[in-house]
Amino acid sequence: MSGRENAKAGESAILRPGNAVEEEEPDPFLGLGSRGGRPKARPPKVMRRHRRILLFLEKISVSFDGFKAVDNLTLYIKQGELRCVIGPNGAGKTTIMDIITGKTRPDSGSAWFTQDVNLLASDEVAIVRAGIGRKFQKPSVFEALTVFQNLELALAGPKGVWRTFRARLGGREREFVEEILERIALADERGRQAGSLSHGQKQWLEIGMLLMQRPKLLLLDEPVAGMTPAEIDRTIKLLRDLEGRHSIMVVEHDMEFIRAIAHETVTVLHQGSVLAEGSMDFIQRHPAVIEAYLGEPLC
């Protein structure tokens, strides 16, 4: 555990990575376990005790061809929290999102979303249905459809595409699309083909498509990469607006952006592990963090 710290006292001290399960008697069904046993049938005790934990990742490791991309990682996200995750290239940020969404299975550890969903025993579709929405680095919208149609389609979700185009939206659904259009600053572009939007607008549209599913947790992987400064400013506004409505995990390289949105906990990843966790001020002055960023201070 050397080099890992948590700056917060009080409630988050209880939630400090690593100390939660150690005080409990060993649970034979915890995660996949080092013996690769069957997935855990009950949520971990720490989750039953702290009901505000929405996402629970504990002692997660995964290797690719012998290379440890994620190494004994523990991370808890509370309901309504906006968590920023930063770290050098290759630190394992995207791999963690792959594990949360069921795209990659870890070699060991446990992962729960609320007390009801064992992520390691759920497939990708079930994880989306449970309320986890993920935005990849590259925007993937339906370019030939209009902005409005893209949102309409996202609203359909499991009901299917054809039903959406046969049936007109009901009043409530239409209102919801309008609300999201305003939120993602695309109300004036509703009739435009998505393919003609700017890079930033496509990113917002994709976030809007996720919002149509009313996710409990949003995973955003480098949402401002390739954006203009004005687009970044608008994305900061969008995230502030979303905060509290959804729990959000944002992975980003752009430190200006992180500074603008992070007023709770920032997690610094390095070589697949949590190097430091705490307020932005705390991690900016953290010697191990500065060293991991090749000697460059983060400010």
293 binds ligand ADP (CB under 6 A): no
What's the token pair of residue 50? Answer: 């702290």
165 binds ligand ADP (CB under 6 A): no
* DSSP label of 59: E
Helix (H, G, I), strand (E, B) or coil at 113: strand
For 147-159, the DSSP string reads HHHHHHHHHHGGG
> Considering only 14-22, 26-34, 86-94, 116-124, which stretch makes contact with ligand ADP by CB under 6 A?
86-94
Q: Which is nearer to ligand ADP, 92 or 278 (CB)?
A: 92
Task: Compute the least distance from the CB of residue 95 to ligand ADP, in Å.
Answer: 3
Angle at 122 between CA 27 and CA 271, to 5 degrees: 70
Total residues in contact with ligand ADP, by rule CB under 6 A: 10
Token pair 């919208």 is found at: 141
93 binds ligand ADP (CB under 6 A): yes
Task: Compute the least distance from the CB of residue 71 to Mg ion, in Å.
Answer: 16
**57, 77, 91, 224: which one contacts ligand ADP (CB under 6 A)?**
91
69 binds ligand ADP (CB under 6 A): yes
> Considering only 39-47, 92-100, 159-167, 212-220, which stretch makes contact with ligand ADP by CB under 6 A?
92-100
Angle at 146 between CA 241 and CA 239, to 5 degrees: 15
**6, 61, 94, 101: which one contacts ligand ADP (CB under 6 A)?**
94
User: Which of the residues 34 through 63 are near ligand ADP (CB under 6 A)?
Assistant: none
Q: Choose the one of Mg ion, ligand ADP, none that binds residue 87, judging by a C-beta under 5 to 8 angstroms depending on kind.
A: ligand ADP
Task: Compute the least distance from the CB of residue 173 to ligand ADP, in Å.
Answer: 35
Helix (H, G, I), strand (E, B) or coil at 228: coil
Which residues here bind Mg ion, judged by CB under 5 A? 93-94
Distance of CA 115 to the CA centre of its chain: 18
Using alpha carbons, select from 175, 195, 169 the residue that is nearest to residue 187: 175
What's the token pair of residue 257? Answer: 């952006």
Q: Could you tell me the CA-to-CA distances from 23 to 87, 101, 238, 255 in Å, in that order?
A: 30, 29, 40, 36
Residues that bind ligand ADP (CB under 6 A): 64, 69, 87, 89-95
